[in-house]
Structure 1
Amino acid sequence: MSDQKVLSGQKRPGGRSARVREAVRQATLAELAEHGYGGLTVENVAARSGVHKTTVYRRWGGVEGLIADALELAREEPWPVPDTGSLRGDLRALAVLVQSSFPDAIASAFVAAAMQNEAAARALRAFYEARHRQAAQIVRRAVDRGEVGPGVDAEELVRLAVAPVFARLFVTREPVTREDAIRAADAALAAALAGVLG
């Protein structure tokens, strides 16, 4: 199967097909965790999943298709969106969540794949768009409480709160502390309150 078909968003039927997809996905994630993007191979995923490698090649095309499909499935999973009772608390908790949970081999492998393959890049963008949509509810709750005006761009505020964390984790490869994450969230909130985001 081509990467384009994998990324089409069409659901495969349940039963054996769904079990095969889940087995291959879990094997892909395990291989990424152990070996990173550079060490990911169809052969190893096939061996770990118990799915014949010709089936993996036919349905996923190669390692980029495996990564894209794993991201597509991950996109559908719920994200633990903070609810502290205040926008400042929620943005801080969100930034700290990113700081503490994303610096791992799998996340790095997804980013590395996206830098080298357009199908993986599309899947990564869709993954983060879904995460930002889910997290935007913290801003909508803040609007209901009167903390920010209704014109604020909720998804952009979320992006701004976590972008410095991602830049350090995946671009400059700097250590990121909890305090760094909180500072990023506070800066994003200040921008929203200043009217920069709508």
Structure 2
Amino acid sequence: MTSDVEPGTTRPGGRTARVREAVLRAAGDALAEHGFERLDLADVARRAEVGKTTVYRRWSTTTGLVADLLADMAEQSVSRSATGTLRGDLRENARLVVRTLTDPRQGPLFKAVIAAATCDERTAEALRRFYATRITEWAGCVDQAVARGEIPANTDGREVIRAVSAPLYYRLLASGDPLDEASADRAADAALAATLAGVYTADTPDTPNTAT
């Protein structure tokens, strides 16, 4: 779902952490520039200014490197917003997705990873774990909205968050339509309208849904 990774984020640590950071940054740059098919461990080592042996020993394959890159991106992802209303929270989520997907580095990087996931199961599993982390993080704002009585009880927060970002990824990967704040807000508002109508509740179809 939402990528939610602000460019330029770093994390302090010892030598091992610094090597990992440099290699993952280099891997992300290479993916953004050339895509998954041209990702090469030797090139990543050169970009990161570390020994090839270190890269091959720790990551072994390009798919292993991409899996670790996605894990790192999930660790560094921006925490969800808390605006006080579900509409505000969903708009913040959608705008963060748009900022990420339109970033000069992050946008091409995600396209490359998604393309790789279509033909490599290990990459696909890593991508699923990444999005599961982000969806779970942002689903909390839906749970809070339920507690405030804004939306129907038993609303599935994960489904709501998926509904926010799905049209934005469609624009990125399929239609080529603009990705901007207006499209982000429309996606959030559409998901909210469906949520208020009870579309994402766990109730049976014959059970009326009302906010408590």
The answer, yes or no, to whether TM exceeds 0.5 is yes
- Per the TM alignment, residue 84 of structure 1 is displaced from its structure 2 partner at its CA by 2.0
Match of 1:151 in 2: 154
C-alpha distance in 2, partners of 1:171/1:72? 26
Structure 1 unaligned runs (5+)? 1-13
Pairwise mapping of residues 173-192 of structure 1 onto structure 2 (< 5 A)? 173-192=176-195
- Per the TM alignment, residue 131 of structure 1 is displaced from its structure 2 partner at its CA by 0.4
Q: Which moved more, 1:130-139 or 1:31-40?
A: 31-40
C-alpha distance in 2, partners of 1:65/1:174? 33
CA spacing shift, 1:89–1:15, aligned 2, 3 Å: closer
From 126, 130, 137, the equivalent of 1:127 is 130
- Per the TM alignment, residue 177 of structure 1 is displaced from its structure 2 partner at its CA by 2.9
C-alpha distance in 1, partners of 2:89/2:37? 36
**Cα contact 1:79–1:134 (8 A) shared by 2:** no
**Cα contact 1:29–1:70 (8 A) shared by 2:** yes
User: Is the counterpart of residue 113 in structure 1 residue 116 in structure 2?
Assistant: yes
- Per the TM alignment, residue 15 of structure 1 is displaced from its structure 2 partner at its CA by 4.7
C-alpha distance in 2, partners of 1:100/1:74? 15
When the two structures are aligned, how many residues end up with a matched partner?
Answer: 185
C-alpha distance in 1, partners of 2:149/2:197? 15
Structure 2 unaligned runs (5+)? 1-12, 202-212
One-letter identity of the residue aligned with 2:67 = A
| SS across alignment from 1:116 | coil
CA distances 1:104-141 after superposition (whole Å, capped 9, x unpaired): 12111211221221111101110011001111121122
- CA-atom RMSD in angstroms: 1.9
User: Is the counterpart of residue 87 in structure 1 residue 123 in structure 2?
Assistant: no
CA distances 1:34-91 after superposition (whole Å, capped 9, x unpaired): 3333432211101122332233223222222211110011112242412222111211
C-alpha distance in 2, partners of 1:191/1:171? 23
| Identical-residue share of aligned pairs (%) | 47
CA distances 1:151-174 after superposition (whole Å, capped 9, x unpaired): 000111011111110111123333
**Cα contact 1:148–1:193 (8 A) shared by 2:** yes
TM-score by length of 1: 0.84
Pairwise mapping of residues 25-64 of structure 1 onto structure 2 (< 5 A)? 25-64=24-63
CA spacing shift, 1:94–1:56, aligned 2, 3 Å: same
- Per the TM alignment, residue 18 of structure 1 is displaced from its structure 2 partner at its CA by 3.3
| SS across alignment from 2:179 | coil
C-alpha distance in 1, partners of 2:14/2:86? 43
TM-score by length of 2: 0.79
**Cα contact 1:140–1:154 (8 A) shared by 2:** yes
**Cα contact 1:91–1:185 (8 A) shared by 2:** yes
C-alpha distance in 2, partners of 1:116/1:61? 19
